[in-house]
A and B are shown apart, each in its own frame.
Chain A
Amino acid sequence: MKFSITVTLKNDVLDPQGKVVQNTLMNIGLNLKNIRQGKYFEIEVDENDQIKAEKNIDEMCKKLLVNLIIEDYKINKL
């Protein structure tokens, strides 16, 4: 079973990299309102029970992949 995990900075955390990307896009004439940069993981697990698998992925997020002080995450089944 395969899952995707999207990690984003929480709203009140400054995202200087995102700001630079936004400025650059605007400098080359592409208009946008706001951009936030994040991280993306794809994880495959050897498990057929979706609930168990999601629990396992959730643990991975909490223990290592995500810094819960500054980041939020979303798990999606692929």
Chain B
Amino acid sequence: MLAYLLRRFVFAVLLVFTVSSAALILVRLAPGDYADTAAAPGTSREVKDQMRARLGLKRSVAEQYGTWVADAVRLDFGRSMMYGSPVKGLVREGAINTAILAATALVAATLIGLPLGIISGSRRGPLADTIRTVSIVLLSLPPLLSSLVLLAVAAGTGWLPVGDMRSAGGAAWPLLDLLRHLIVPATALALPIAAMFERMQSQAMAEVVGQPYVLAAFARGIPRARIVWRDALKPALRPAAAVYGLVVGALLSGSFAVEAVTSWPGLGVLMLDALRARDLYLVAGCAAAGSVFLAIGTIVSDIALVLVDPRAVEAG
């Protein structure tokens, strides 16, 4: 068990290191650099060269990468060229905003998706059919579309703020204000994922309900609800547990679209701006933060998997 978790932990550390290194080197090798994107058109070559020298862009790739790694292990991720402030603070703020959005969406999706999946997977009839149809419709409405639609509804009715995270000029109740702004993006992100959970859980549940031991339990006269919610549930949760870590990837992907549409100041839009401006260290910082989320996701999922199915230790 300990060896298993240790192995997964090493994978997680490797993930963070590789992803952020790859991001840094990729942007460094890309055509054009920060001096090109930031300087006004018509800036002379000498001025740009001075800028490069000041920002440390004239060193070789290996040298630049080497110093970045050496600093990064001491948790110094450099300064953003665009904002002129340390990457750490910028990324922390973006990561917190994305985490608020993604965590709310994940909790909502779990609370909606899993119970509905258990219901639709363990019985037949109009209720199960309705749930399934709604799921397929929602599954066809990826976060980009769902956030546009919800935003149009919010803008049309005026019930909820359109875009952004806080009201301009502040509000009397900051937390309440944040919650009001959170509703549209979090719902947009949660709906497709809830639909995905429902379909997956429904399938897993249907498989388990078809097992001989469930039939045997029925034959003994154990009440239906108890079989479904106690005996069949635990093995049926295995796919959900396995998928949880990967859902973090889907959450981050979806969160990117939602952030772009609703102008939620998260990691996604920060990374987009950094990539466009070729802001090396900011890109690497964003990539590191994103991969930390992924790493946490895989580790949580690995632990959850062992809890519902101890055999995973030998296989993983």
A binds B: no
